[in-house]
């Protein structure tokens, strides 16, 4: 009798160990979790949620165009997504170390980044613009010469200004996120912010008391396209690219765009890039 109980005990222990092992294997190498019950994997999506209206904090929730877009894309592909705010520089570190499945953060697709990450089809058309006080004499990027310009570190905004006035030029103030760059402008510590058009336009419009205006310079600031960024060699990318195509085609993209920008997007420009 006693030995049967003992044996039973050992068997139960063993079962416990085996079950525990199974539990561990449900976390994949890229950090996402398998939700076996729902039959869907939850993807770990990293972002820098300080870039309204694309990704920003509303209370303790991350909201924005990018968030709605990625939720639509992963749903189309049969996944779930957990969008996590990690910050701009850390986002790229996570992708490089394959700790995240993908990043969405208004990330411009460019040759330099393509060497380290894989990108989806372009999903958003953008360009840098200049945010200045309403009474500023600045009318083009050239006018920023010898003026203090605030940018988010490691962005194409920084690159665009450096291209004009040289790397390490002492008038360039670099910040960890774009909100800090705008704060610097508002407190008089900078004469301008250079960042993505939709971001500065929405900010100027939603904060009229700050008395800001946006200057366009299509001669000096190139057209850019945002993409989803993946670790190099990601097997998920081709899968999600199909979903991106669908979302662009079936009206979902237009709906999300309209919700955030109040008008219809130029989808053909995006499709041309596929």
Residues that bind ligand ARG (CB under 6 A): 48, 50-51, 55, 88, 105-108, 152, 155-156, 178, 196
| Residue nearer to ligand ARG on the CB measure, 118 or 196 | 196
In this structure, the strands spanning 40-47 and 172-175 are unpaired
Q: Is 16 exposed, middle or buried (0-12, 13-18, 19+ CB in 10 A)?
A: exposed
In the complex, what is the shortest distance from the CB of residue 221 to ligand ARG, in angstroms, rounded to a whole number?
11
Task: Name residues whose C-beta falls within 8 Å of residue 118's C-beta, 6 or more positions apart in sequence.
Answer: 229, 230, 231, 232, 233, 234, 237
Select 87 or 239, whichever has its Cβ closest to ligand ARG.
87
Helix (H, G, I), strand (E, B) or coil at 119: strand
> Residue 41 or residue 244: which is nearer to ligand ARG going by CB?
244
What is the Cα–Cα distance from 141 to 130, expressed in whole angstroms? 8
Q: Are 174 and 152 in contact (CB under 8 A)?
A: yes
Least Å distance, CB 179 to ligand ARG, is 9
Least spacing, CB of residue 39 vs ligand ARG, in Å: 32
Contact yes or no for 60/49 (Cβ under 8 A): no
Beta carbon of residue 105, minimum distance to ligand ARG (angstroms, whole number): 4
* Smaller CB separation from ligand ARG, 50 or 141: 50
Task: Give the nearest distance from C-beta 178 to ligand ARG in angstroms.
Answer: 5
**Closer Cβ to ligand ARG, 41 or 117, answer by number:** 117
Instruction: Name which of 92 and 253 has its Cβ closer to ligand ARG.
Output: 92
Residue placing its CB nearer to ligand ARG in the complex, 41 or 177? 177
168 to 111, 152, 153, 173, 252: CA distances (angstroms): 21, 14, 12, 10, 43
Shortest Å distance, C-beta 236 to ligand ARG: 20
Q: Which is nearest to 88 in space by CA: 50, 126, 53, 52? A: 50
C-beta of 30: minimal distance to ligand ARG in Å?
21
Q: Strands, DSSP E only, in the chain?
A: 33-35, 40-47, 50-51, 55-58, 61-63, 80-85, 102-103, 117-119, 124-133, 149-152, 172-175, 192-196, 212-215, 223-226, 229-231
């Amino acid at each position: 009798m006693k030995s049967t109980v003992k044996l039973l005990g050992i068997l139960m222990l063993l079962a416990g160990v085996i079950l525990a092992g199974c539990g561990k294997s449900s976390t994949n190498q890229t950090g996402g979790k398998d939700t076996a019950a729902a039959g869907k994997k939850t993807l770990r999506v990293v972002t820098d949620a300080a870039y309204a209206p694309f990704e920003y904090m509303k209370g303790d929730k991350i909201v924005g165009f990018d968030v709605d877009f990625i939720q639509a894309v992963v749903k189309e592909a049969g996944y779930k997504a957990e969008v996590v705010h990690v910050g701009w520089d850390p986002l790229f570190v996570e992708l490089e170390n394959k700790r995240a499945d993908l990043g969405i953060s208004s990330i411009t697709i460019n040759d330099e980044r393509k060497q380290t990450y894989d990108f989806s089809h372009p999903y958003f058309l953008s360009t840098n613009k200049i945010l200045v006080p309403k009474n500023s004499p600045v009318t083009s990027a050239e006018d920023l010469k010898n003026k203090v310009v605030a940018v988010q570190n490691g962005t194409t905004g920084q690159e665009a200004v450096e291209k004009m006035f040289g790397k390490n030029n002492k008038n360039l103030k670099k910040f960890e996120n774009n909100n800090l760059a705008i704060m610097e402008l508002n407190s008089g510590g900078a004469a301008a912010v250079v960042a993505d058009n939709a971001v500065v336009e929405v900010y100027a419009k939603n904060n009229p008391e700050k008395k800001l205006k946006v200057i366009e310079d299509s001669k000096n600031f190139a057209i850019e396209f945002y993409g989803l960024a993946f670790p190099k060699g990601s097997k998920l990318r081709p899968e999600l690219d199909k979903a991106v195509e669908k979302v662009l085609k079936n009206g979902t993209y237009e709906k999300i765009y309209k919700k955030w920008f109040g008008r219809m997007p130029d989808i053909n420009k995006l499709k041309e890039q596929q």
